Amino acid sequence: MQNKLIVVSAPSGAGKTSIVRHLLQENPLLSFSVSATTRAKRETEIDGKDYYFISVPEFQKRIEEGRFLEWQEVYKGQYYGSLKSEVDRLGAEGKVVIFDVDVLGGINIKKFYGERALSIFIQPPTIEDLKKRLAGRGTETPESLQKRVDKAEYELTFANQFDRIVVNDVLSVAQQEASQLIRDFLCQK
């Protein structure tokens, strides 16, 4: 039997990464697919653990070489993508690969893997809540905050293309709901 995969997507600030971290701690079968990005590394992030931080020219070279399962230019000059080599490596170890990817990337992975993948959309309770969360990070300028909110409003229109939607109003509740969805999916033959 081929390995199953989990795809978790959300607009920026919806809590996707917090939920994925919880899932990884709770379920030893899951292994994180480290994405590549061209954006600047945040102070708390570790190269090779949170992301592979690479230059725009290197990212574009890997696109041309067909080394990505999916990739997006999420913001102008900011690329994100899932490396095929990560999925192959983790699959060979018998792991269930879990992706923490943007919304369009999540849709593309689901299309590629079909029924082998469970796609979960993490939705904020409201756009206003999302805006507060993003502002609370302290990493956004007023312009970049508005850009992220505008993008989030657009991404919310894709929620119905995912297998399941989890509304992240209370983080612990959303974490448990996502955990149960994954347990149920992994038990299916």
Which of the 8 DSSP states describes residue 156? G
Phi-psi region of 72 (alpha: psi -120 to 50; beta: other; left: phi over 0): beta
pTM of the model: 0.86
Q: What angle do CA 171, 184, 125 make, to 5 degrees?
A: 25
The order of strands in the sheet holding 30-32 is 30-32, 96-101, 5-9, 117-123, 164-167
Distance from chain centroid for Cα 26? 18
The CA distances from residue 19 to 79, 121, 143, in Å, are: 23, 11, 27
What are the backbone dihedrals phi and psi of residue 33, each rounded to the nearest 5 degrees, phi first?
A: -85, 110
Question: What pLDDT shows up at residue 155?
Answer: 95
Q: Look at the chain and report how many structural domains it folds into.
A: 1
Q: Encode the chain (189 residues) as per-residue pLDDT tens digits.
A: 468 999 999 998 898 999 999 999 999 999 999 999 999 998 899 999 889 999 999 999 999 999 999 998 877 889 999 999 999 989 999 999 999 988 998 999 999 999 999 999 999 998 888 888 877 777 778 888 888 889 899 999 999 999 999 999 999 999 999 999 999 999 987
Q: Distance between CA atoms of 158 and 17, rounded to whole angstroms?
A: 19
Torsion of Cα atoms, 154 then 157 then 161 then 165, to 10°: 100
Question: What pLDDT shows up at residue 72?
Answer: 86
- Whichever domain contains 75, its CATH number is 3.40.50.300
What residue type is assigned to position 141 of the chain?
T
34: containing domain: 5-187
